[in-house]
Structure 1
Amino acid sequence: MSVFVEILVGRCYRVSLDRLKAFPWGRYVKFAFLFGSAASGGPAGDLDIAIPRLDLERYSELLGDLAVWLDVNEDFLDLVEIWEEAPCPIVLEALRGVPLYVEDWDLVFRFFNVCQDWEIDARKLQIHEILLGRWRG
């Protein structure tokens, strides 16, 4: 449960968490999660919102309608698409955020569990350390 009620976005907009949750998300997506700096309730450069993957037309429609709903410039909204091939660190961070709307928890858990398993395996196999070692030369 979140304890903040308002987010300062881009030093020029105040966005109510209740207003964000009241957006008609179900017209566009099966889930939406607020994450990043805005999810902590502190000031944020933009609103990072995780959504399932959409086609370009639907994505643009959602972005425009959400900007009007919140009365913010579209530049301050970052819709991050989650799908089967999205990088797991992003998926995990996003889905650990504040749920704004969830119609399909099974879909959310599927993305989350696959990436959580990947993260556990990556830690066991020290994949991050190996990749950093190769990158550093």
Structure 2
Amino acid sequence: MNKHMVSKGNQFGRIIYFILLSVFFLTVVTQFFLAGLAIFVDPINWSRHTTLIHLVGFNIPLFLLLFAFIGKLPRWAYWNIFGLLVGVFGMYFTANITASIRWLGALHPVLAILLFIISYQGIKKTIKLMFIKKGEE
């Protein structure tokens, strides 16, 4: 078997990894939108913002870890997942510490931008890994 060939199980793992990472990316974008709605339209949207992250926050990165293993993804995928987990933890931390140390709350949207960038870069690398042949690079 060619060293660039992957088994059906590995392909499945990579496809699910890509789908989950895309869902995470879209969740981050949706979170920006919900925060904007809460600020500019109606504060009731804060509860939607909070509920969405409780559903997705740590769950998707943990499943990403599983499917990165199944898909035999390179080391960068694991660093990507680690970055997402640290970012999500940072988001929870900055959202909840604001009552005690107000200026840390200002890091919340900065971390959101980092989550956006990390997930976007992961999607780009996964697409490149799955669809671009080594000879075409």
Q: TM-score, normalised by structure 1?
A: 0.33
Higher relative contact order by CA 8 Å / sep ≥ 6: 1 or 2?
A: 2
More strand by proportion, 1 or 2? 1
More helix by proportion, 1 or 2? 2
Structure index of larger Rg: 2
Q: TM-score, normalised by structure 2?
A: 0.33
